[in-house]
Structure 1
Amino acid sequence: MDLNVVVYESAFCPYCMWAKRLLDAKQISYTLINVDRDAEKRTEMENLSGRYTVPQIFFGDRHIGGYDDLSALERSGELDQVIQEAAAS
């Protein structure tokens, strides 16, 4: 599914890997932004999310949070609705 999904990540982050696997399983394409060596992108992520950890996941303008937040949406059955809302906007 082609949505405007952005994942801020770092190279050796297991939570980033798990988030990407979940998005892949849902057939959601996403743009990866690696913040390891890009201070400007890290600052952008921090300003947008208010958080300093990776991953930080956005569906359009909606901040989903990190892997734990994404996984909680999936477990509760709410992730599909979030996906539908993002597709409609």
Structure 2
Amino acid sequence: MSAGTSGIFDHADETEEVTMAPECFDLYTNPARPTLALYVRKGAGLPDFADPSSWSIEGEIWSNEIPPDVLKTLETNGHVFQELGV
């Protein structure tokens, strides 16, 4: 704080909340179970436990499109399953 101020920040950027840009993830579905989605980090491929022949990549999904609780698990584990339409 500079001399002569009343304790209020002189710069608006010191009080602004920092927001992160959305992260992109790959979205896979299982044709045998079309309501089950598997999200993984972009470009990571399928986890070792997932049989690649059982999954097909459907595209990408952004972190701001994923429910917060699902996103937290995804960020922690690097992958997450989600039942779609629930």
Shorter chain as normaliser: what TM range?
0.3 to 0.5
TM-score, normalization by structure 2: 0.35
Query: If you compute each CA radius of gyration, which structure gives the higher value, 1 or 2?
Result: 2
Q: Which has the higher helix share?
A: 1
Q: Which has the higher strand share?
A: 2
